[in-house]
Amino acid sequence: MPTTLSGLQKPGHQWAYIADGEPGAIAETLVAFANSDGGWLVLGINAEGAAGAFISDDEAADAVRKAERLCRPPVRTVDWQPLTVPGGVGALLRVERSSELHTLDDGRVLVRRGVENAPAAGDEIERLLSSRPVGEFELQPVPGATREDLAEEIIDEYLERRQKRNPRQAILPKDKLLQQIGALTEDRTPTVAGMLLFGKDPQFFMPQCRAVFVKFADTQPRGPEGALGYGRREEFTGPLPLIIDRAWRVIWEEMDKRAVVKGLQRQEETEYPSTAVREALVNAVAHRDYRITGRGIEIRMYTDRMEITSPGGLPAHITLDNLVEEHYSRNPRLVNGLYQWGYIEELGLGIDRMIEDMVKAGHPPPKFESPGHRFTVILYNARDQGRAAQPWEGSMNERQLKALEYVQQNGFITNSDYRQLCPHVGAETLRLDLADMVNRGILLKIGDKRGTRYILK
CATH code of 445's domain: 1.10.10.10
pLDDT at position 133: 56
- Does 361 fall in a domain? yes
Same domain, 9 and 98: yes
Question: At which of 96, 120, 144 does a domain end?
Answer: 120
- Does 206 fall in a domain? no
Domain with 270, as residue range(s), is 211-322+341-380
CATH number at residue 263: 3.30.565.60
- Does 363 fall in a domain? yes
CB 339 within 8 A of CB 282: no
DSSP state of 321: T
Same domain, 364 and 253: yes
Residuewise pLDDT in 10s, the chain (457 residues): 445 555 678 888 899 999 887 889 999 999 999 988 889 998 888 887 777 776 677 787 888 888 988 888 788 777 788 877 676 777 888 998 887 788 888 878 899 998 999 998 766 776 776 666 555 789 999 999 999 999 999 999 999 999 998 888 778 899 999 999 999 999 999 999 999 999 999 999 999 999 999 999 888 876 556 566 677 899 999 999 999 999 999 999 899 877 665 555 556 788 899 999 999 999 999 989 898 887 899 999 998 999 999 998 777 667 777 777 667 678 889 999 999 998 987 666 678 888 888 888 888 899 999 876 789 999 999 754 444 434 444 457 778 888 888 888 888 899 999 999 888 888 888 888 898 888 888 888 888 777 788 988 7
Same domain, 238 and 353: yes
Quick one: CA torsion of 16, 17, 20, 24, rounded to 10 degrees? Answer: -10
- Does 375 fall in a domain? yes
pLDDT at position 1: 41
pLDDT at position 261: 54
Q: What phi-psi label fits residue 91: left (phi over 0), alpha (psi between -120 and 50 degrees) or beta?
A: beta
Same domain, 241 and 368: yes
- Does 102 fall in a domain? yes
Same domain, 229 and 373: yes
Rounded to whole angstroms, the Cα distance separating 138 from 140 reads: 6
- Does 410 fall in a domain? yes
Those residues whose C-beta lies under 8 Å from the C-beta of residue 194, and which sit 6 or more positions away, are 142, 150, 178, 182, 183, 184
Question: At which of 102, 120, 138 does a domain end?
Answer: 120
Question: At which of 120, 140, 159 does a domain end?
Answer: 120
- Does 409 fall in a domain? yes
pLDDT at position 385: 43
Same domain, 239 and 270: yes
The model's pTM? 0.60
- Does 262 fall in a domain? yes
Same domain, 277 and 311: yes
Same domain, 22 and 80: yes
Same domain, 228 and 110: no
pLDDT at position 353: 83
At position 96, the amino acid (one-letter code) is E
Same domain, 424 and 305: no
Residue 395, number of CB atoms within 10 A of its CB:
7
pLDDT at position 393: 40
Question: In sequence order, which ranges of 110-255 are alpha helices (DSSP H)?
Answer: 123-130, 134-139, 152-165, 174-180, 192-198, 202-205, 240-254
Total structural domains in the chain? Answer: 3
Same domain, 247 and 220: yes
Same domain, 238 and 369: yes
Laid out side by side, the sheet with 15-18 consists of: 15-18, 39-43, 88-95, 77-85
Q: Phi and psi of 98, rounded to 5°?
A: -95, 150
Its sign, for the CA torsion 433, 439, 443, 449, is positive
CATH number at residue 74: 3.30.950.30
